Every structure is written in structure tokens, then in C-alpha cells.
Amino acid sequence: MDKLSINFAGIKLKNPVLVSSGTFGYGEDYSKLIDLNRLGGIITKSITEKPHQGNLPPRLAETPAGLLNAIGLENQGLEHFIREKLPFLRQFKTAIIVNIAGFSQNEYLRLASSLNRQKGISALEINLSCPNVREGGIHFGNNPRILKYLVSKIRSLTRLPLLVKLSPNVSDIVECARLAEKAGANGLSLVNTFLGLAIDPDLRRPKLANITGGLSGPAIRPLALQMVWQVSKHTKLPILGGGGIMKTEDALEFFIAGARAVALGTANFINPRSSIEIIEGLKTYLARDKLKSIKEIIGSLKVDVKP
């Protein structure tokens, strides 16, 4: 068995390095730059039931060691994805995880039911944490009752493994993780972006038309790591960790904190080959330390005080 192969939430991954939703499109552009078959998995851009234009520009703003975005779930809808995008993704021997988002609770249910009938999908990622929409998304993920209800209903509608993407913009992410587990989730994605604001001091206006946006990149890595470590101690669900992973050492931090797999986001914009380089870097690390499997380091954080 390959040292990097792993079972994540019932999905057999050739390696634990995935690309996160919203940073890789549907893979077409990146397929010209890297071999998508080498990835552990591709998580698609969020899909809504109907085409959605997203927020007005400007929608991106750089910050120190980070990126603010307020794309607002722009996509061409479910039918277009099934007709135009899924056939392309089916070509590759890698896990295809479809991220779904909705502006109503019933929209999530219809999306899950429709995608359950499609071939070539390894799992669904339930986006309950997008901070850049005024309805649905984070508003459902921040409400414990709705979160539990939605995950439970989606679970009853699909045979596919369910990953729940939780928001870091909550008072108690452990409670959200436990509720998702009780409702039937197979895994957790931690974390989505942190809500942030950037201002142009000359214009005295927000740099984003949406005013606020989601902060990603190296600036959030310590925060994301803490949440992965905290949640891993209170749930049995496997965690897909992410937040500012740029190089092999960053990915290793997430594994040691308790993540079973990692997802790269902002790194894809800066270096399209970052995922491949991290896969190779993990192989070198395991060989150097004479480890038989990546599983040996998962949750191996050594602490001198009781948390």
C-alpha cells in the first residue's frame, strides 16, 4: 500500500492532499498545468440549484499574508454542472467531491437528491459556512437547530458520504461539529474563511463592494489549526483541514493537529503546482523519518500540559 493512501469518510484517497472549493473551479484550467490524476481529490466550486451571478465587483482584495474574497457563490447552476462539468471531471482517477450551497433549506435537499443519481461523484461537501451571502450559507451553519436538521435530512436523501463544511465564525465550533456528527455526517471540513474587512483610507470606502469578505491565506493558519486540534479531541469524525496551507510543513502541522486530510485553497492562486509539490514533500518526510504511513502522524501533537 502507498504510504500516502488513506480512507477518509469512506472515500479511498490515493493521497490526503485535496484542492478546496472555490479555488480550483472545476479543474479545467488547472488540468493544463498539472496532472489532476495525482491529486487526492478535487472539491468543486460551490453549486446552487439555479445560476447565480454572485456579488458585484470588486470581489477580491489582498491583505497582509491573506486574501479577502466576496465572490458570493457565482456559478451556472446544477443543470449546467451535470451537463458540462461533471463529464470532464469523470475522466480523472481521483475523488470528486461536489460542494453544494443553497439560499433555502429545501434547495440543499433538492441538490443532494439530484446529485445522488449522478455517477462519478465520491462525496458531497455541504457548504453551511459561506460568509459572503445574505441568505442561506453561514446563516444555516450558525444556527444549531437548522444545522442538525439540514444534515439529517440530506443524510436521508443520499447514499454519498457527507462532509460538512463548518464556519469558523461561531462562538463554539465544537458544538457545531458534534451536532453534524449526531445528524449523520461522515466527515468535517475545517475551516471556511474568517469574516474580515479592508478599507481604502484615501476613499474611506471598503475595498470590497460587499463591504466584508472571507479571509483566507497564511494569516488564518494558526486559527484554523487551533480549531482542527480542538474539534479532533471532541468528535470521531475525520477532519479535512485547511487554512493557509502553502507548503509541506504547513500541511504537516494540520496532520499533527488531528486532520486526516488537507485541502489547499489560496495556494492554488499563487502556485498552481503547490498541491503536487506538497504531495512530493510528504513522501520525502515519511521516507526521512522512516514512517510506514501518513496515518502515523495524524493527531500526534505532543503537549506538556493538559488541554
Helix (H, G, I), strand (E, B) or coil at 272: coil
Q: How far is CA 268 from CA 19, 108, 123, 171, 193, in A?
A: 8, 27, 22, 30, 15
- List beta partners, residue 208: none
Torsion of CA 6, 9, 11, 17, to 10 degrees: -50
Active site residue 130: yes
- List beta partners, residue 97: 43, 123
Quote the cell numbers at residue 287: 521516507
User: Catalytic residue among 96, 100, 130, 251, which?
Assistant: 130
Separation CA 269–CA 9 (nearest Å): 27
Distance of CA 29 to the CA centre of its chain: 19
Grid cell 471556511 in the structure block, residue: 192
Separation CA 46–CA 64 (nearest Å): 26
Catalytic positions are: 130
